[in-house]
Structure formats: C-alpha cells, structure tokens
A and B are shown apart, each in its own frame.
Chain A
Amino acid sequence: ELVLTQSPGTLSLSPGEGATLSCGASQSVRSNFLAWYQQKPGQAPRLLIYGASTRATGIPARFSGSGSGTDFTLTISRLEPEDFAVYYCQQYGSSLITFGQGTRLEIK
C-alpha cells in the first residue's frame, strides 16, 4: 500500500499570509497522479488540484500544486478567511487509492 504522510498536522496562520502544505509518499506516485482536496466542517471534500499541479474547475489561482515522485506541495499564496479548513492529499496512481491523514489550517 502506498502511504501518504502530510505535514504539518496543524498550521496556524493569519489571513493574507501564505501557506505551504506537504505530502510525502512511501513510494513514487505513478505519473504524478496526486490530488488535493479541501474539506470544511459538515461538508463533503472539494477537489482543488489533480495531476499534482492542475487546478480543478473554479478553483482560485491562489491555490497551486507542485512536486513529483514522492514529494508534493500545496501552496496557498494569500489566505482568505474561507481557506481555513482541512486539506487532504490523495494518490490515484495505484489501483488502491489512499489518502493522507490531513492538515488542519487554522486561523492564528
């Protein structure tokens, strides 16, 4: 099983600051098939990024993804109040899908 490890577990920042979230894989993710999701309390997750760096439809440009192989990053350039949520990475390069444990982005 391909294990994804996200860091940090919790990130405390203020609106207007930049955020960097990391996702490390136990083995190389085939074709960089790595996605990022945002989840707010009581809601279903929402797709932000797929293919490691492609923004999903309607996702603001302040969200960007990068990385390859075993190391991936989600960057939020200037935090808006609505960005404070939990973020998950997911790999779909293996036939068995796995998620990271999540990073909670909270208001400082």
Chain B
Amino acid sequence: QVQLVQSGGEVKKPGASVKVSCKTSGYIFSNYGISWVRQAPGQGLEWMGWISGHNGNTRYEQKVQDRVSMTMDTSTNLVYMELRSLRTDDTAVYFCVRHLIGVGGPYYFDSWGQGTLVTVSS
C-alpha cells in the first residue's frame, strides 16, 4: 500500500535551517509528484510547493520561494524539504503529500505523510 513516512520532529533557533525527509513506498515514484503542505498551530493548510518524481522539476509558492528547496533521491524514493532562515512563524506541522501530475501542475492530494512538527524558538 502507499506509504509516506516522514522524519521526526525538530526544534530549531531562528535563523537556522531544517531539512525534513519523506520516505515513499508502494507506488511507482516517477508517476507522481510530492508537495509539501504546512499547518501552523490551530491554523489552516498552506501549500508550499512541489517536486516532480518524473524529472525533479520544482515549483514553489511565492511566500517561501526564496528560502525553500525540495529535492529527491530516486535510488531510495526519498523526498526532502529544506527551509532556511527559519522564523518563529515557521513553527508548524509539515506534511508531504502525493499527487498525480497534470498539465498545469499538481492534482488532488491522495496520500499524506504523518506530519513533522518543526518548532522555531529562541
């Protein structure tokens, strides 16, 4: 069955970087993309961007595009999200999500990782 298993929680200081991993299994990696979605405490869902499992192309949301990088390792079907220059308002649960890839970009999100809590505090 499809599984997305994320790395554990992180505590970081403002200005630091964090790298969250997402181990995928149970499907053909190159047929799908992976997006990252975050949720601040008590808040809604915010899409951050995505990476194509087919060719590694990326697209980032404008709010984070200068600080985020999404990469992948096709030999292990791992996807990574690195966020730099962390601020306290980056404190959130970060989810990796699987989706098919359409002409315009991602389709709906059919499988979700369990989430990784990243806490940014001095």
Contacting pair A47 B110 (CB below 8 A): yes
* Size bin of chain B's contact surface: 20 to 34
A85 interfacial contact with B, CB 8 Å:
no
In this assembly, does B14 line the interface, its C-beta being within 8 Å of a C-beta of chain A? no
User: Hey, what's the 0/1 contact readout for B21-41 against A, CB within 8 Å counting as 1?
Assistant: 000000000000001000000
Interface of chain A, main secondary structure: loop
Please give, as numbers and ranges, the residues of chain A lying within 8 Å of B99 by CB-CB distance: 92
Which of B47, B95, B108 is close to A47, meaning CB atoms less than 8 Å apart?
B108
Residues 70 to 108 of chain A near chain B (Cβ within 8 Å):
88, 90, 92-102
- 0/1 string, A29-57, CB within 8 A of B gives 1: 01001010100000011110011000010
For A100, list chain B residues within 8 Å (CB): 44
Q: Which of A35, A50, A90, A97 has the most CB of B within 10 A?
A: A97
Instruction: Please measure, in the bound complex, the distance between the C-alpha atom of A67 and the C-alpha atom of B89, giving whole angstroms.
Output: 35
CB-CB under 8 A for A92 and B106, given A97-B35, A99-B44: yes
Determine chain B's interface SS by DSSP, over half rule.
strand
Inside 8 A of A30's CB, which chain B residues have their CB? 104
Question: What B residues does A56 contact at CB under 8 A?
Answer: 110
Instruction: Enumerate chain B interface residues (CB-CB to A < 8 A).
Output: 35, 44-47, 50, 59, 61-62, 95, 99, 102, 104-110, 112-115
Nearest 7 CB-CB pairings of A with B: A44-B112, A95-B105, A50-B108, A35-B108, A97-B47, A99-B45, A102-B44
For this complex, 12 residue pairs linking A to B, each with C-beta atoms less than 8 Å apart, are A33-B107, A37-B45, A44-B115, A45-B109, A45-B112, A47-B108, A90-B109, A96-B47, A97-B105, A99-B45, A101-B44, A102-B44
